[in-house]
Structure 1
Amino acid sequence: MRDRAGIVSFSQVALNLFVGVIAPLWIGLSPAAGQVRPELDQKIVPYQTSGSLSGSLSISGSETMRPLTESWAADLRQLYPGLKISVTSEGSEAGLAKLLEGKAQIAAMSRRINKEEIAEFIREFGYEPTEVPVAVDALAVFVHKDNAIEGLTLAEVDAIFSNERRRGLKYPLLIWGDLLLDGEWKEAPIHLYGRNVQSGTTTFFREHVLNGAALKKTMTPAPGSASVVIELMKDRFGIGFSGIGYQTSGVRAVPLASVQGGRYVAPSFQSAMDGSYPLRRNLYLYVNKIPKTVASPSLVEYVKFALSQQGQQTVIAQGYYPLATAELNRLTMMWNAPVRAASAQESPKLRD
C-alpha cells in the first residue's frame, strides 16, 4: 500500500471506506453535486511514517466529521497494522463528554468548544484541552432540488426554524408562499429537518442563525447529517441544515445573505475561505494532553496525519475544505514540538 517514498497509497483505502461505511448511507444517491472542489496545495507538508507504531486510540464525537475521522483511522491502520483505532460518532457533545470521562483521547467536534466547557475540563484535569482545527466546513441550508427559492436571509432562516424570531423578522414563515413561491408551492407548508440535540451542528446553527433561540418543536430531528439530506430528497416541501459535504444532486444548497438586501452567497470553497459565506465553520479535534509533556505516539500520529497533505486530500474528497496551507504547516510544526492549550491554539484569522 506504499509508494517508493514510503507514503501510503489511498485509492484502495478510500474505496474500502466508501463501500463499508459511506455507501450504506447513500445507496441510490448521486455523488455530491454543485461543488467545485479545490486543488490540494502541494506545499502542505506530506505525512511521513514514524517507523513501527502500536497501541490503541479512541476517538469520539461529531457525526458530521465521521467521514473524516473514520477515513483517517482507516488510512493509519494501513500504515501501522499494529495500531488499534476505535471511532464512534454520536455527536460533538457526546464526544466531549467521553473526553471528560477519560473514555476517549480525542473528541471530534463540528463547533468550537465554549468557555463553560473549557472551565469544566479545567476543573476535571487542571489544564485546558488542546485544540486542533483540521478542516473547514460550510453549514448549508438545503432544500429539495425542485425548490426554486433564489436565496434566504439569516433573518428568514431564523423565522423558518424558530418561533422567537430573534433576528427581528416581524412575521412568521410557515408556508412557501410566505417566501413568494407560487403555484403548487404557494400554500404548501414548510417542513423542517435538522440534527438532534447531541449534534455540534445543531449548537452551531442555534448560536449563529437563531441567536441562541430554541428550534421549533415541529422540526424533525435526524440522527445524522446524511439523514437530513435523505429526508429532503423525499420531501419536496422540506428545508433542513447539514454540512456541505453531504450535498447530493437531489438537494440544493440555498444561497444566504447576512442582512436584508445583502448579496446572496452560495456555499463554496472560495466563499468559505474568504468569509463571504455567513455559515463557515472550522472542524476540530480536541485532545486531552498534559501541558509540557509528550502525548502518546498514536495520538500524535493521528493528529499529524489529519493535518498532512494526505489527510487534507481526504478532506477535499469528502466534500469539505482544507485549512490554509500556512496554518496547516504551523500546526504540524507544533505537533513536532510541545503543543499549547486550546485558548492559544488557533490564530485569530481562523476564528468562527
Structure 2
Amino acid sequence: MRTREIRVFALRDVARAVILALLTVPISCNAASAQEKTAIDVARDQMIAAKRDKVYYTNKFDLEGLPHYTPDSTVSGTIRMWGANYFTDSPLAEYWASQFRQWHPDVKFDFHLKSSQHAIQSLMFGVSDVSPLGRQITNAERLAFQREFNYQPLGIVAVTGSYS
C-alpha cells in the first residue's frame, strides 16, 4: 500500500511538470518563426493601439462617501499576475499598479497577461499570485483547483461595466 501511494504522488508530480512544460513552451519547434509576428498579430496590435486610450464612459462616479484608504501595514515584494490580456491591452493594469504604488512604493508588478487560459493553471503551479479571468471559471478549472488546494478559488467580480 505504501508503494502505491508513492507511485501516485510521483505520477502526480510528473504530470504537473509535463503540463507546465506544455503551457510554457511555444508550439512551433522553430524558435525563429515563433518570435516573428504574423500579419494577424500586426493587425491585432494596430487595432488595440487605436482603441487603447479611448474613453468610452465619461461620467465620473462620486466616491466622496467612501472612507479614505490608509494602509495598516506596508507591503513589499513582487505581485505576479497571469491571465486575461484585457488589462494590459488597455492602460488599466499600469493604472492600478501606479495607484497601488502610491501607498506601497516597494511593490513591483510582474505582468504576464496574455490569455485567460493561463490564469487558473498559473495559480495551481505557483507562478502567479493574482490571475484575472476574462470569463467565468470553468467547472474543470474549479475542480482541479479544489482538488489541489482543498478549498474553492476566490473570485472577485470587477470591471463589468458597459461602454455606455
Normalising by structure 2, we get a TM-score of 0.58
> Residue in 2 aligned with 1:116?
140
CA distance in 2, matches of 1:38, 1:125: 42
Q: Aligned to 1:107, what secondary structure does the other structure show?
A: coil
Which amino acid in structure 2 is aligned with residue 94 of structure 1? Answer: H
Matched positions, count: 115
> Residue in 1 aligned with 2:22?
none
Q: How does 1:21-100 map to 2 (within 5 A)?
A: 26=49, 32=54, 35-42=56-63, 45=66, 48-50=69-71, 51-66=73-88, 67-100=91-124
Which amino acid in structure 2 is aligned with residue 41 of structure 1? Answer: D
Query: Structure 1 vs Structure 2: percent identity of aligned residues?
Result: 24
CA distance in 2, matches of 1:128, 1:56: 24
Q: Aligned to 1:87, what secondary structure does the other structure show?
A: strand
CA distance in 2, matches of 1:95, 1:30: 22
Q: As a proportion of its length, which structure holds more helix?
A: 2
CA distance in 2, matches of 1:61, 1:44: 33
> Residue in 2 aligned with 1:130?
154
Give how far 1:116 is off. 1.7
Contact 2:83 2:114 in 1 (8 A): yes
Do the aligned partners of residues 70 and 31 (structure 1) sit closer, same or farther apart at CA in structure 2, a change above 3 Å counting? Answer: closer
> Residue in 2 aligned with 1:285?
none
Do the aligned partners of residues 99 and 32 (structure 1) sit closer, same or farther apart at CA in structure 2, a change above 3 Å counting? Answer: same
Do the aligned partners of residues 79 and 97 (structure 1) sit closer, same or farther apart at CA in structure 2, a change above 3 Å counting? Answer: same
Contact 2:120 2:145 in 1 (8 A): no
Cα distance per residue 1:1-52 (max 9 Å; x no partner): xxxxxxxxxxxxxxxxxxxxxxxx637x79527x343321325635513143
The Cα RMSD (Å) is 2.8
Do the aligned partners of residues 43 and 114 (structure 1) sit closer, same or farther apart at CA in structure 2, a change above 3 Å counting? Answer: farther
Dislocated runs of 4+, deviation >6 Å: none
Q: How does 1:124-203 map to 2 (within 5 A)?
A: 124-138=148-162
Contact 2:83 2:117 in 1 (8 A): yes
Which amino acid in structure 2 is aligned with residue 134 of structure 1? Answer: A
Q: How does 1:6-25 map to 2 (within 5 A)?
A: none
Normalising by structure 1, we get a TM-score of 0.29
Do the aligned partners of residues 32 and 49 (structure 1) sit closer, same or farther apart at CA in structure 2, a change above 3 Å counting? Answer: same
Q: Aligned to 2:86, what secondary structure does the other structure show?
A: coil
Q: As a proportion of its length, which structure holds more strand?
A: 1
The structure with higher relative contact order (CA 8 Å, sep 6+) is 1
Which amino acid in structure 1 is aligned with residue 105 of structure 2? Answer: P
> Residue in 2 aligned with 1:263?
none
